[in-house]
Amino acid sequence: MFENKNTSNTNISELGEFGLIDHLTKNFKIKQKTTVKGIGDDAAVLSCDSSEEIVVTTDMLVEGVHFDLSYMPLKHLGYKAVVVNLSDVFAMSAEATQITVSIGVSNRFPVEALEELYEGIHTAANFYNIDVIGGDTTSSKTGLVISITAIGRVTKGTAVYRDTAKETDLLVVSGDLGAAYLGLQILEREKKVFEVNPQSQPDLDAYTYLIERQLKPEARKDIPKLLSDLEVTPTAMIDISDGLSSEILHICKQSKVGCNLYEDKIPLDQQVISTCEEFKLDSTTIALSGGEDYELLFTVKMEDFPKIKGNPNLSIIGHITSEKEGVNLITRGNEKIPLIARGWTSFKK
């Protein structure tokens, strides 16, 4: 058994997910020459040969924490489990090549249910042209746990990290934000209605895009290629899994810079705007804190502005400043307020 020599215990929720990672891994030092980048980015980077490097990332999905099987079809869950890992590979500007899949499963799941799960994994592997090369299966006393490790490759020296943004860089995001979170709210609402009246038939036609973004997101494999075609090299990059505000703060903290994010530049789909009005929610708050968008957030040099200006896949939403200026949201009323990470986090009280 582990012996706790402290007289008082610290609740995990006081540190949060990333604070906990920092705390637990602070004593790990890089010993191998082949480890180019270790803990602290979307993926680790390993030296492979004189021309390529390998990127490796892993993510875990736990029933009751990351997904609810009352409205998440197992096929969609398998697909999404792959996507959330590949997104981290693409955030390194790398090409995804292989995955391993490990599951912990309770005896309440028949073989046919696991076949559905793996059908989703197989569909994602085909779509993203990756190989499933191994994994593990074990029993679980509670529910379903899925852990996937994704492997990719990148030309030596071209992986894009979080800690390399520079002052005056432009802050850019792909796609639009907030839809996945609203999709979750719709599904949670319909679940409660169903629990009260199992005969009810939900009308979800007005929310198709939002629900798709929640149940079947796509990783932005196209963005690194798009930037390459435009002859634009990102100076820093991260994927948006926990919310825009959290990811901006990650880049700024690790790059030791500040940032001005402009509220009126945040890209929102019309369904996000109309659903926020229906739910009486602030669309900016949803975009900043919703999470699970799996878009890519990155910085580029100011001189690359003409190359990306007006591109329908990209939105310039701010610029990098000096660290002393802090990380701020510039509101539509031109008020500057400090940006705070309020996105999804594990270990909430």
The answer for residues whose C-beta is within 8 angstroms of residue 329's C-beta and 6 or more apart is 261, 262, 263, 284, 288, 336, 337, 338, 339
CA dihedral 120, 126, 131, 133 (to 10 degrees): 30
Asked if residues 320 and 168 have their Cβ atoms less than 8 Å apart, the reply is yes
User: Which stretches of the chain score pLDDT less than 70?
Assistant: 1-7, 12-35, 37-42, 342-349
Give, in order, the Cα–Cα distances in Å from 273 to each of 21, 58, 266, 281, 285.
35, 33, 12, 9, 12
Q: Which residue carries 């926990």 as its tokens?
A: 242
The beta strand positions in the chain, using DSSP E, are: 35-37, 44-47, 52-62, 95-105, 131-139, 145-155, 170-174, 236-239, 258-262, 296-300, 314-321, 327-330, 336-338
43 DSSP assignment: S
Buried b (16+ CB within 10 A) or exposed e, 118-132: bebbbbbbeebebeb
pLDDT tens digit sequence for 60-85: 999 998 999 999 999 999 999 999 99
CA dihedral 16, 20, 26, 29 (to 10 degrees): -120
Ordered by where they begin, the domains of the chain are: 16-155 (3.30.1330.10), 170-338 (3.90.650.10)
Task: Check: CB of residue 231 under 8 Å from CB of residue 300.
Answer: no
Is residue 137 a contact partner of residue 103, using CB atoms and an 8 Å limit? yes
Tokens for 91?
């955030």
pLDDT of residue 20: 60
How many other CB atoms are found less than 10 A from the CB of residue 33? 7
SS3 47: strand
pLDDT digits (tens, 9 = 90+) for 167-179: 999 999 999 999 9
CA 108 to mean position of chain CA atoms: 30
Torsion 176-178-183-184 (CA) sign:
positive
3-state secondary structure 274-303: HHHHHHCCCHHHHHHHCCCCCCEEEEECHH
- Find out whether 295 and 226 touch, Cβ atoms under 8 Å: no
Tally of residues, the chain = 349
Contact 93, 159 (CB under 8 A): yes
Tokens of 30: 């890089």
**Pairwise CA distance, residues 329 & 288, whole Å:** 10
| Tokens encoding 315 | 């939105």
For position 84, what pLDDT does the model report? 96
Distant-in-sequence, close-in-space partners of 29: CB < 8 Å, separation ≥ 6: none
According to the model, what pLDDT value does residue 40 have?
65
Sign of the torsion formed by the C-alpha atoms of 329, 174, 72 and 152: negative
Q: CB neighbours of 129 closer than 8 A, spacing ≥ 6? A: none
